[in-house]
Amino acid sequence: MTDENSTIDQLRWEKFQVLDDGFVCLVDVMGNDSSVVQAARVSYGQGTKKVSDDRTLIRYLLRNRHTTPFEMAEIKILVRVPMDCWRQWIRHRTANVNEYSTRYSVAIDSAQTTPPDQWRTQSESNRQGSARPLSEEQGSKLCESEKAFQLSARQLYDERLESGVARELARKDLPLCTYTEAYWKIDLHNLLNFLSLRMDSHAQLEIRQYATTIGEKIVKPLFPLVWEAFVDYRRESMFFTRLDIGVMQRLNQRGAEQKLSPPFSEELFMEVQDETWKGLKRCRERDECKSKLQRIGLVASE
């Protein structure tokens, strides 16, 4: 048995826990790092092997966004995920999906609960995001009301079924915290796009935990060379726009004129910001630019 087959056998059907009762597990996989390389080399023939090894080629492909070869590998996983989180997940319309049917079967008797220290306030700067955690006292009260609500909702659902109401109708008042399960089959190219978006710090914490588990527990051991390139060129890389580059050039020029060394002040950043941002009280593009320049040490952190 090869090391690759051994890795697949060890991973297949192993449930990696996510949240309180969710999981992801590998069902099947088609291909490996070599599948990406093989697909990339089909246009050039075997001679390419003398010029570029597998790792170098994979890194070149991902670095330069040559995505087609990554479509030649696929994975299929089974997930158990709360319905509200699944709504975000299923928006990635690049996979083959078969979900547990609450019209055909009784709904899974499990609902996601929130630990007292994980209740979060609404972000004031991001309408679709959260901010700081609530106090432990507030969290404990919310946990109590959450438990009571979930118990009541499940009792109502069960009572309807017992009275003969059709499953397709009884399910309509199930809360979004109810867990669902689905088979999810996706090619490697689209999976990396999913992971890039859902592992990002701006993604909701709950789906970020699922994406991180899939990436680190399943993709990394199955496609180690692809994962290495993904981390280097997508996961931990940075994209600069034309406007970002203009700000950097003006910062360096102004710094040289004033004999200043980076990190430059936020005041100087605001002075050399792009003309289209000036006059805007709130500007997400400007905030993103500043955050990137702070990350590379060109602008001082607050």
The answer as to whether 264 is a domain residue is yes
Domain membership of residue 205 (yes or no) is: yes
Residues 78 and 182 in one domain: yes
**Mean pLDDT within 22-51:** 82
- The Cα 184–Cα 97 span in angstroms is 5
Provide the pLDDT confidence category of residue 3 given band limits of 50, 70 and 90.
confident
SS3 148: helix
State which of 210, 235, 260 marks the end of a domain.
235
Q: Which of 173, 199, 221 is the last residue of a domain?
A: 173
Same domain flag for 16 and 86: yes
* Band (23; pLDDT cuts 50, 70, 90): very high
pLDDT digits (tens, 9 = 90+) for 37-55: 999 988 665 545 544 589 9
Which residue type does 155 have? Answer: Q
Q: Cβ distance 189 to 70 under 8 Å?
A: yes
Q: Where are the beta strands (DSSP E) in the chain?
A: 16-18, 22-30, 74-82, 96-99, 120-122, 130-133, 179-187
Find out whether 160 and 174 touch, Cβ atoms under 8 Å: no
CA dihedral 54, 59, 65, 70 (to 10 degrees): 40
Residue 302 is assigned to a structural domain of this protein: no
Marked catalytic residue, from 198, 242, 250, 254: 198
Q: In this structure, is residue 210 part of a structural domain?
A: yes
Question: 204 or 123, which is more confident?
Answer: 204
Residue 16: which of 76, 79, 71, 58 has the closest Cα?
79
Residues 98 and 11 in one domain: yes
Q: Do 185 and 231 share a domain, yes or no?
A: yes
By the 8 A CB rule, do 284 and 241 touch? no
What one-letter code names the amino acid at 184? W
State which amino acid sits at residue 170: A
| Structural domain range at position 138 | 116-173
Task: Tell me whether residue 198 is one of the annotated catalytic residues.
Answer: yes
Number of domains making up the chain: 3
Residue 50 has a pLDDT of 45
| Residue 124 falls inside a structural domain | yes
Cβ atoms of 269 and 247 closer than 8 Å: yes
The pTM for the full model equals 0.90
**CATH no. for residue 10?**
3.30.1360.170
Residue 133 CA: distances (Å) to CA of 145, 170, 251 = 18, 35, 36
Q: Do 192 and 129 belong to one domain?
A: no
Range 221-250 average pLDDT: 97
Q: How confident is the model at residue 133 (pLDDT cuts 50, 70, 90)?
A: confident
